[in-house]
Amino acid sequence: MLVKEKVGQAKALLAESGIACWLTFTRESIINGDPALPFLNGADVTWHSAFIICADGRALAVVGQYDRETTLATGAYDEVIGFVTGIREPFQEVMRRLDPPVIAVNFSEGSEICDGLTHGMYLTLRGMLEEIGMAGRLISAEAIVSALRERKTDGELARVREAVRQASEILQAVGGIIRPGISEKEIAGWMQGEVRQRGLELAWAKETCPSVFSGPDTAGAHFAPGARRVEPGHLVTIDFGVRVDHYCSDLQRTFYVPLAGARGIPREVARGFDVIVRAIARSKEAIEPGVQGVQVDAVARKIVTAAGYEPFPHGLGHQVGRFPHDGTALLGPAWEKYADKPFRELAPGMIFTIEPRLTVPGHGIVSIEEMVRVTADGCEWLSLPQKEVLRAGGRPPRRREETNAKKKK
């Protein structure tokens, strides 16, 4: 079971970090749950609940009586204490018994995935710990939660691989329906139908999954497909992912709609596409444990700008897991909105997208999004990288240069 796998991983991470105790405090999680709860329990909780994991290997939980059996069923905890009237007394008794020198709890200024403790719950927790002289021991659990979420176990990796495979098949198939006159919304609807037929879920909200952008002057990202119709000469970019057993894929593919009678693709489109393919390949080569995300972002950004294009207005890549945007470390520039995320060192087990983009005037956006996993000595592809512009109709078009060379022969 995934919970048992992740709790076991958390014990090792605590020992590695030198932090004695990790405490996740939450309540009514179906409304406002902690992002780490799916790794700690088999279902949502109702009342105040404390999940406590220690570096010495102990794992305990204090939950409402009706939540006790579900927590026990995970097989991850040495002791699960159920309460009826309130959590204060059983929780304080457990903490006195453990007496940890520091208590890492679920708050963070820099990472949303580590910041599930609401202010009200923090005040409640601090009040209970003050009564037993432990309030001064609180620290952020960001280091533990980030590592737990970022370093995928074998079970998590298998789910992501399947999500990538399924999304890749649908993206390959959709090329057969892209043609002049079809709308962005119709393309998206066909893809959503494929997802339903396969018994899958979309990786994010159906309004923008997939996002479809045809031709020049589009929103370019994070926008719902609309009534705009595909025209000859358009680049069509699709951003899409599916969820398999709670784990996501996130991919982008670029298609070209040829002009009537044309066998090749315009030189400017081919050039822009080649720049993106090269930026992705070189970025992948730069990924290895210990490297900072800002360094990888700089590799792709330099290739794009050196070719004469504007720098892409976003980070090169984000982590993927239970959500399309997941994890703390980021392949990104040193921008205010990214805080310290680009400066975190990469570690084995992290899964990232690589997604530079550029605009080809008069045609649209060239954007490819691949997925990779950091390994012990580098990184591996999770997606099969797009190396050719996908032709509307499903076949990669021949380039003008290739066509002319064949004519000369």
**Same domain (yes/no): 136, 268:** no
The per-residue pLDDT string of the chain (409 residues; one tens digit each, 9 = 90 and over) reads: 789 999 999 999 999 999 999 999 999 999 999 999 999 998 999 999 999 999 999 999 999 999 999 999 999 999 999 999 999 999 999 999 999 999 999 999 989 999 999 999 999 999 999 999 999 999 999 999 999 999 999 999 999 999 999 999 999 999 999 999 999 999 999 999 999 999 999 999 999 999 999 999 887 777 889 899 999 999 999 999 999 999 999 999 999 999 877 778 999 999 999 999 999 999 999 999 999 999 999 999 999 999 999 999 999 999 999 999 998 999 999 999 999 999 999 999 999 999 999 999 999 999 999 999 999 999 999 999 999 888 776 444 444 444 444 444 4
- Do you find a cis peptide bond into 210, omega within 30 degrees of 0? yes
Query: Token pair of 86, please?
Result: 């309130």
Closest to 330 in 3D by CA, of 357, 276, 291, 375: 291
**Same domain (yes/no): 307, 399:** yes
User: Which of 17-29 are b and which e, b meaning 16 or more Cβ less than 10 Å from the residue's Cβ?
Assistant: eebbbbbbbbbeb
- Residue 19 dihedral angles phi and psi, to the nearest 5°: -90, 130
Does residue 52 sit in helix, strand or coil?
strand
DSSP secondary structure letter of residue 198: T
**Same domain (yes/no): 121, 163:** no
Max CA-CA distance within the chain?
88
Write 281-284 long-range contacts (CB < 8 A, 24+).
281/385, 283/316, 283/317, 283/331, 283/354, 283/356, 284/354, 284/370, 284/372, 284/379, 284/381
Q: Which of 132, 149, 166 is the last residue of a domain?
A: 149
Q: Which of 104, 121, 149 is the last residue of a domain?
A: 149
Q: How many domains does the chain have?
A: 2
Is the C-alpha dihedral spanning 71, 47, 328, 10 positive or negative?
Answer: negative
Strands 251-256 and 235-240: antiparallel
Closest to 17 in 3D by CA, of 54, 50, 59, 58: 54
**Same domain (yes/no): 278, 397:** yes
List the CATH number of the domain containing 182. Answer: 3.90.230.10
**Same domain (yes/no): 336, 390:** yes
Q: Which of 116, 149, 182 is the last residue of a domain?
A: 149
**Same domain (yes/no): 44, 141:** yes
**Same domain (yes/no): 248, 205:** yes
Q: Cα angle vertex 165, ends 360, 391, to 5°?
A: 35
Record the pTM.
0.89
**Same domain (yes/no): 185, 228:** yes
Closest to 325 in 3D by CA, of 2, 35, 28: 35
Alpha helix ranges (H) inside 18-75: 29-32, 68-73
List the CATH number of the domain containing 97. Answer: 3.40.350.10
**Same domain (yes/no): 216, 243:** yes
Q: Which domain holds residue 172?
A: 151-408
**Same domain (yes/no): 166, 142:** no
* pLDDT reported for residue 393: 67
Within 10 A of 409 (CB to CB), how many other CB atoms are there? Answer: 4
Give the containing element (helix H, strand E) for 283. Answer: helix 267-286
* pLDDT reported for residue 407: 44
**Same domain (yes/no): 110, 164:** no
- The C-alpha R_g of the chain, in whole angstroms, comes to 24
